Amino acid sequence: MVHIDPFDVSDEAIDYSKLIKEFGTQPISSIGNLPNIKHFRRGFVFSHRDFDVFLNAIKKGDKTSIITGINASGSLHFGHKWTMDLVIALQREFNLPVLLTISDDEAYVTGKVKSQEEALENSKLIAAQLLALGFNPNKTKILVHQKYTKIYNLAIKLSPRCTMNEIKAIYGFDMSRNPGQWFYPIIQAADILLPQELEGKHHVLVPIAIDQDPHLRLARDIAERAGYIKPATIHMKFLRGLKGGSKMSKSKPGSAIFLDEDPKKAVKLCMQALTGGQPTAEEQRRLGGDPDKSVVIEYLGAHFIDDDNEFKKLVDDYRSGKILDGETKQLLARHVESFLASFQPKVEEYKKDIDSYLMVD
């Protein structure tokens, strides 16, 4: 049985239609006229809560914004980039302000880093990487909890709006958890509701992977009780790990390509990625490959081939045996190496003055 929560995802194959029922969300297909963005066109976004309400607010000219976040356990990887690319596309499509929160405190209280100092250094790296991905600096705020400690005041303000029983029911915590972990869900709710606290009541969208949905459930409940508008959310499918499994993850060695990886080493990782091919080249030419099984095809479609017709041709050629696994791996490797070679110098430039981009008390 697949286990999914904000702190752990088991490595079995995921049936996303079952998750919609289990989490009580709505299929994204229930909404017509979705944004013309690759993530929607290709089914990378599969579920939502009130995304239709958010889109209607944009259509009416009501105030809207986006918030999403990341854990500060280390460098971003291509799985994170996948979600952030969607947020950037939405920001550009609708000219939306974006708040990016980096949870250095969560990394510390859950033991993902050894010290708060390490979490802060990771946060600064992540902030530079986020900006280098293409967020508009003039319409993007970045919040690191050690730098913007007012978030804790908001968490205290919100804490009477829920009970320990609710946290236990949503997260499954028991008394083996430390107090920081018990309080952290309220800090997450504060992150999600901060745009309305600072800018007044308005419609907020939170793009996330489905494992983070418990944070949204709690934040939506608290929002209703505290007089905010319930935040909407869209759920991304996980980007599978290099060798398969449920997701690319920092905690699963060998499953991820990190954005600070040496480009030459990244090429080698690409050549080790899972494919959907046959045991021999001759058999693959005759029988074709399975593009749904191939992580290589998945990565190419998620990150590098934006044109739908071009991607369809790649998939069809792979399925028919016209393209072999070695060719798809080499194509992915070239794209990854080129991306990292141009991306990493941008990160270094942002790191020089990163404190100027962070929210402060």
CATH of 4-243, picked from 3.40.50.620, 2.170.130.10, 3.40.640.10, 3.30.479.30, is 3.40.50.620
263-350 CATH fold: Tyrosyl-Transfer RNA Synthetase (1.10.240)
- pLDDT tens digits for 202-244? 999 999 988 899 999 999 999 999 999 999 999 999 899 998 8
pLDDT exceeds 80 at position 85: yes
Domain coordinates in residue numbering, the chain: 4-243, 263-350
What is the C-alpha to C-alpha distance for residues 97 and 320, in angstroms, rounded to an integer? 44
As given in the structure block, the two tokens for residue 249 are 């993850």
pLDDT exceeds 80 at position 8: no
pLDDT exceeds 80 at position 10: no
pLDDT exceeds 90 at position 307: yes
What is the C-alpha to C-alpha distance for residues 330 and 323, in angstroms, rounded to an integer? 11
Question: Per the confidence metrics, is the pTM higher than 0.75?
Answer: yes
Residues 309-327 as b/e (b if ≥16 CB within 10 A, e otherwise) read eebeebbebbbebebbbee
As given in the structure block, the two tokens for residue 307 are 């044109």
